[in-house]
A and B are shown apart, each in its own frame.
Chain A
Amino acid sequence: MKLLRATIYGFGKWVDYDIDFSNQSFIAIYGENESGKTTIQRFLLFILFGMPPRQRKFYQPKNSSKMGGRLTIQDDEIGEYTIERLGDTRNGAAQCYTPDGEEYEESWLRSRLSGIDEKTYRSIFSFSALDLSKLQDVKEEDISEVLLGIGLTGSTRIHTAEKKLDQRLGDYFKPNGKIPIINEQLAKLNELQRELLELKQEESTYRVKKNAILELESEIELLTGRIKSEKGREYQLEKVIQSLPEVEEYINYQTRLKAFPDRISFPEDGMNRYEVLKGKLLPLKSDIKLRINNKNNFIEEKKELEAENNIFPLNEARTIYAQYTNYQENERELLRIQKQINEQDKTLNMEIMALNISLDKEVIEDIYLPFNLEKQWEDFKREFEEIKHDRLTNNENTQLQQSENNRIEKELEHIEVSVLSNEKRLELKKRIDTYKENKLLEALQQENSHKHKKWTRTREQTTKRIGLWLGASILIGIVFGVIGLLLEIPFMINISAVAIVLGITQWMLGKKSIKSMETMLKESSTPQTVELVTEDEIERAEHHLRIDQESTREIEFLENKLKDISIQLRTLHDQKLLLVEREADLQRRISEQRINYSFLESVDVVFWPELYRSLKVLLQLGKNIADLQIKEAELKAELTGYHNNIDTFLQDYGFENNAKSLVSKLDFLEFEINAYLGREKEISKTTKMLDDTSKQLKELLTKCEIVEKEIKALFDFANVQNEEEFYQRAKELKIQAELRVSSEKIFSKYSSYFSKEEWENLVMAPPKKSTLELEINEIKNEIRELEESQDRNRQKLANITVEFQSLESSETYSKMVHKFQLEKEKLTTLSRQWAVYKTARDLLAVTKVNYRNKYLSKVIAKTNYFFKQITGGNYTKVDPPIGDKPFTVERDDQFRFTVQELSQGTINQLYVSLRLAVSEVMSESMHLPFMIDDAFVHFDDTRRKRIMTILEEIAKRHQVLLFTCKQEVLEEIHDKSLHQLTNRLPLVENEW
C-alpha cells in the first residue's frame, strides 16, 4: 500500500493544503520544530483510522469551519482509491471512493487496513524519538521485556495487565493461604458447616425426644396398672392373714380325716362280743404256754448233748489211741540203729587216721573213685619209673662219648707238631726244580757264541764300501767344480754339486745299516750266573717230603673220627630233651590228679595204687554209715509224725489240754472217749420226755383254736388284724364323725371370702404368717417405689415435653441453613470471579508464549540483519531472551553481552533494529507505510548514514515516510540521486 497524495481541508494549523507523495517509496518530510510535521502525521492517521470526537474537536482549525481531508491510496489489490473523512459529518466516519465510482463505508476501509486500529498501527509501523527516550526510563531488568514487546500491541500493557491480574489472583485465593478472600470464605464456611452439623445433631434429637415422650407415656400407664394390681394383692394377703388360724385348723381336720378311709366297717356291738370271747381264751393260753416252756427245755437239753457229741470225733480218737503200740516199737528200733552208726563211725575215723593223709570224714563222703582210676594211677607210677631210668642211661652215654672225644683231640695235637711248614715244603721243591733247569742252559750257550762271530765280519765289509763311495763322489764333485769355475760353465758346477750330494747320501745309508747290525749283536749275548745244587741235598729233600705226606694222611683220619663222636653226642642230647618233655607232661597230669584229689598232695605217685585200694575200703564204710543214718531219720520222722498227729488232733478239735507229755495226752484222750459214751445215754432219755409233752400241747391248741376263730370273725368284719387295731377302729369311727362336723363348720365360714379354688390353694399350701407379712411389706415397698418412679416419669415427661416444644418452635437450625447457603453462594461468586481472573491470566501467558514463538524467529532474524548493519558489523548476533535470561548480543570478537551491559547508544540501536524488524515482519501481511519521526536524532553521522541505507532498502518493499527536522538527514537523502527530494514542498505556514 502506498500513500499517493493527501489533501487537508482543515486540520490543526493546516487548511486547504496538498501533499503529493508523487508515487515515491521513500519520502522525507522536513520541517523545523513547530512547523507542523506532527500535525501532518496526525492528519494521515486521522484519515486512515478516525478519531474520537474530543480529539476531533482538538484538531478543529481556528480559522476554518472545515475539519478533515482526503487521502488517495494505491492498494495492491484494488488499485487506487480515495478516503474522505470529515470532522462534523457522519460522526467522523470515513467515506471511500474507488475509481469505478463506488462508495464504501468505514468498515470497508477497516478491512482494507487489515482490521488494525491506530494504536496497533502506531505500535508497529511508526516510531519516534519519544519511544527511545521512554526506553531510558525503563528499569534495567525490564529492558529485555520491553525490547521483546515492541510491536506486540503495546507490550507494556500486556505486562501491566499480567501484573494486575496476578495481584487480583493473589487477593482472591492462594492454595495454602489464609488471608485471601476466598481462603477466608472457606474458613468461614468450614466454621458454619461445623455449627450446622451441631445444630442438625440437636434437631435430630427431635425423634429421640418424641420417642422418649411416647415411651414415658406408655411407661406411666404401665406403672399405674401395676400399682393398682399390687394394691389389690395387698388386700387379699391381709385377708389371708386373718383367716390363717382357722385355715390351719381346717387343714388339721382334713389331714386327720384323710387318714381315715371314707367308710369304716365294724361289727355290731363288736366290743362286747369280743370281751366275752377273750374271757374264754385267757386260761387256755396260759396252760399252752407252760407246756411249750417244758417242751422247749427238753429240746434245748437234747440239743446241747447232741451238739457236744457231734463235736467229738470218736473214730479218730480211737485210731490215734490204737496207734500208740506201733509208736513204741519204732522207738526201740531207732535206738538200735543209732548204736550201729556210732560203732561204724568210730571204725571209719580210725581207718582215716591210719592212712595219715590230709583226709577227713567229710571229704570221704564226697570222693568219687571212677573204675579206671586205679589203672590210671598205676600207669602214672610205671611211667614215672620209666622216665627215671631213661634219664640215667642217657647221662652215662653222654659221658662216654665225651671222654673218647678228648682222647682223639690229644692224639691229633701230637701229630700236627711233626708236619712241615708250607715254606719249607716249597723251598725243597724249588731246589729240585733248579737243578733240572741248569742242565738245559748249558746247551743253549754254545750255539750263541758261534753266531756272533759271523756278524762281526759282515760289519767290517760294509764300513769299507761306504767309505769308498764317499771319497769318489767328493772327488768328482771337486773336479767338476774347478772345471766349472775355471771355464765358467754353470752346468759343470751343478754336476759337481749333485755328485757331492750323492756321495754323502750313500755314506749315510751305509752307516745306518752298520748301526742296526751292532744292535743285533748285543742282544744275542746272555749272562751266565747259575746256582749250583748238590745231589745229596736233592736226596735229603726228597726224603723229608715223603715223611710229611704220611703225617698229613694220619690227621685226616683222626678228624673223621671226631666228627662221628660229635654226631653221637647230638643224638644223646636230643634224647635227653625228649625225656624232659615227657616228664613235664607226666607232672602236669599228676598235678591234675592232685587238684581233683587234694589228699594226693602229700602222697608220692609211687604209692597211689596202694592208696586207691585203702580208699576203696573207706568209701564202703562211709556208705554203710550213710544208709544207717537214712533209716534213723525215717524212724525219727515217723515218731515225730505221731506226736504231731496227736497235737493236731487235740488242736483241731479244740481240746484245751495242758498235758505236755505224750502219755498224759493219751490219758486225756481216753477220758474224753468215755465222756462221749455217757452223753449218748442221756440223749435217749430226754427224747422220750419230749414226746410226751408234745402230745399234751396238741390237745390244748385245738381248744384254743376254736375260740380264736370266733374272734377272727369279728376282726375280719372290722378289717383288722388284732385286738389293738380292733379297739383303734372303734375309736376312729367315733373321731371321724366328729372331724367332719368341725371341718364343715370352718369351710362354710370362709366360703364368702375365698373362691373354692382359692380356698383349696390356701389349704393345699398354707402360707406362713411371717412370709405373708413380709410379702405385704414388700408389696407396700414396691407400691411406694412405683409411685415414686411414676412421679419421676411424670416430671421427666414434663421436661421433655418442654424441650420438645422448644425444639419445635426453634429456628436456629433453619437460620443456619440459610446462612450457610448464603455464604456458599458468596464463595461461588468469588470463585467465579477468581476463575475469570485466572483464565484471563493464564490465557495471557499462553498467548504471549505462542505469539512470541510465532514471530520471534522471524523478528530476530531481521533484527540480526539490521543490528549488524547499524553497528557497522560491530555486533553480529542477537539472541532473544530465554527463560530468565535477557536479550544477549554477540560482538564481532565473539564476546557476549546481556542487554543491561550495553551502552545506552547500543541499546537504542538494538531498539531501532527491533522496531524495524518488527515492522518488516508485520508488514508481510499488512502492507502499510512506515512513519518514522526523527527517531535518529541522537545518532551520529555514521550511524545515521547506515540507517538511511537500511531505510532505502526497506523502501523498496514498503513506503517509508520519514519526518525530520534535521538538515543532515536531508543531506543524506539529497545525496541519493535515485530518490527525489521532498524539500521542495512549499511548507507554507499559516498564521497560528
Chain B
Amino acid sequence: MGRAVSLARSLLPFLVALPFLWALQRWSPPYPTLVLRYVGINIVLAVSLNVVNGFTGQFSLGHAGFMSVGAYATAKTMLALADVQLAFLPEPASDAVLFGFALLVGMAAASVAGLLVGLPSLRLRGDYLAIVTLGFGEIIRSVIQATPPAFLGASLGLSGLPLRTTLIWVGLGAVAVVVMARRLALSTQGRALFAIREDEVAAEAMGVDTTGYKVRAFVISAAFAGLAGGLIAHSVGAIEPTSFDFKRSMEAVVMVVLGGLGSITGSVVAATVLTVGLELLREFQDYRMVAYALMLVVLMLARPQGLFGTAELWDLWRRKRPAASAASAGPPGGAA
C-alpha cells in the first residue's frame, strides 16, 4: 500500500506535465519549439549544477565535462542501436524506449565521471575546487580529442545522430530535475548538504559524512548534466569536443548565480530568461554577448545573492511561516 502511494506521488508530476508537453509539441510552431527545447535543457543544466554549487556550497566549474560525457555516451548508444527495433513494440514506441535507454546510459556514464572527479577533488575547497573541476572539464575534452577518430570522432566529433529530442523529452527531463532537487531540499539528506554549505567543520562534527555527501551531490549533479548533454546531442544531431568547453560550464554557473545559489526556482527562471533573452537579441549579434557580460558584472555588484537569494517561489504559498517575526528579529547578537 505504502509502496503504491509513493510510486503514485513520484509519477504524479510527470503525469501532470505530459499532456501540456504533448500539446506544446503538437501545436507549437517550429521556432518557439526550438527555443523551448533549449530552455528546458538549460533548466536541467542549471538546476543540476545548483545541487553542487547552491545546495552544497561547492564551487564546480566543470559541468560541461559531465555534459560531454553524457552526450557522447548517449550518442554512441544511439548509433549502436540504430538498426534495432524492439519486436514487441510498434516503431515509434520502440524508438522512444531506445532513446530513453540511451539517455539513461548517458546519465550513468556522466555519474561515473562525476564520481571520478568528485572523489579526489573534494578534499579541496573554494577556489581550488573550482579550478580543479575546470581542469577536469578540459581534460575530458582533450582526452576525447585524443581518442581514435573511429571511436569518438576525435576533433570532428560525431554527426548524423538521429534527432530524437522532442519537447516532451526535454520537458520530462526538466520536471525530473526539479522534482529531484525539490524533494532533496525538503529531506534530511538535503539538509545535510545545506549544513555542509553553511559550515563544513560543524556539519562533520554533527555526524554528517561530509566527504560522502559531497561526492553524492557531485554524482547526482553530473548525472543530470549528462542528461542535458544527451538531449543536446540528439537535438542538434552532431556533437564535437568544443561544444562542451569551459564557456559552457560558465554559462551554467551564470544561470545558477543569477537565479540565486540554492534556489531551484531561481535557476529555472534564470535559465529561461537567459535562454529566451539571448535568443531575442540574436539580431544584435556580438553585442548581445557584451551585454550579457556587462549584465553579469552589474548584477553581481548590485545584487550579489542573485535574483531569488535562497528563496523559492513555492514558499510564497506553502509556508504559513511567522515571516514577520523572523524578519524583525533584529541584528545577530554579536555572533562572530
Q: Do A and B bind each other?
A: no
Binding site for B on A (CB under 8 A): none
Binding site for A on B (CB under 8 A): none
